[in-house]
Amino acid sequence: MSKRQILLLSSSKVHGYEFLEYASQDINDLLSRNNVSSVLFVPYALSNHDEYVKRVEKPFKQWGYKVVGIHTQEHPVQAVNQAKAIFVGGGNTFRLLKKLYDLDLVKAIRKRVLEDGIPYIGASAGTNVATRSINTTNDMPIVYPPSFDALKLVPFNINPHYLDLDPDSKHKGETREERILQYQEEEDAFTVLGLREGSTLYVEGNSAILKGIHRARLFEKNKDPVEIDVGSDLSYLLKE
């Protein structure tokens, strides 16, 4: 049985809240339970790494945790191997995943989380890369990663920033639901959990629960999408 402890946020920003504020209780519970004092932060989804670390340091320092940007470390794989907790921030999912492959971090992070059980926290792009594949990111494909396969910390996909149809919109581009259903027309498509901003998935070993402040929407292949309330047990999605 996997030792994983994974907190996947739809987004770091939610309307009406400060950066990471809506998830502060869940983040703190996870880190304090593991006696973590320092968090390895992965800022690769944005181009300005130093600035990103500063933004993340603000709430984490306030909560009592040190933040180390992985880009400041000479040996990133070694930094992962020694990390006591990892936070992967949002930005562009393609850029993030490509960098994880380029630096040989995919296997290293996977091992630390699944085998060694260190806490993994992801937000937006950091949530996308934690899943089976990045096939259901909303981001623009600004760089070409060697694969869309991701960290596979969970055996399904997530669509972060899940967005309902705006009935007043005159825009003719596909709705989010249409895009996810298009994905699931593909033969090898996985289940997709649409996490609305403010929605969070917590996975511990073989148990998964929806947390946060907003409902999620679940897309299982060949089934009608269903609404998932906060507090719902989603452990059955972890079966491979």
What residues are labeled active site? 124, 139, 161
Does 18 participate in binding a second copy (rule CB under 8 A)?
no
Widest Cα–Cα separation across the chain: 51
| Helix/strand/coil for 143 | coil
Could you give the CA distance from residue 65 to residue 113 in angstroms, rounded to a whole number? 19
Does 222 participate in binding a second copy (rule CB under 8 A)?
no
Whole-number minimum distance, CB 142 to a second copy, in Å? 4
Name the residue with tokens 């033969």.
187
Task: Outline where DSSP puts E strands in the chain.
Answer: 5-9, 38-42, 66-69, 86-88, 120-123, 157-162, 192-196, 199-204, 207-212, 216-219, 226-228
Question: Which residues ranging from 125 to 154 are in contact with a second copy (CB under 8 A)?
Answer: 134-144, 147-148
Across the beta sheet with 199-204, the strand order is 66-69, 38-42, 86-88, 120-123, 5-9, 199-204, 207-212
116's tokens: 């060694």
Question: Which residues ranging from 91 to 110 are in contact with a second copy (CB under 8 A)?
Answer: 91-92, 94-95
Identity of the residue, 58 or 111, whose beta carbon is nearer to a second copy in the bound complex: 58
Does 185 participate in binding a second copy (rule CB under 8 A)?
yes
Which residues does residue 233 pair with via DSSP β-bridges, in sequence order? Answer: 209
Identity of the residue, 79 or 158, whose beta carbon is nearer to a second copy in the bound complex: 158
Whole-number minimum distance, CB 210 to a second copy, in Å? 19
Whole-number minimum distance, CB 38 to a second copy, in Å? 28
Of 21-29, 172-180, 204-212, 226-234: span binding a second copy (CB under 8 A): 172-180
Binding site for a second copy (CB under 8 A): 11, 13-15, 47, 91-92, 94-95, 134-144, 147-148, 161, 163, 170-174, 179-180, 182-183, 185-186, 189, 197
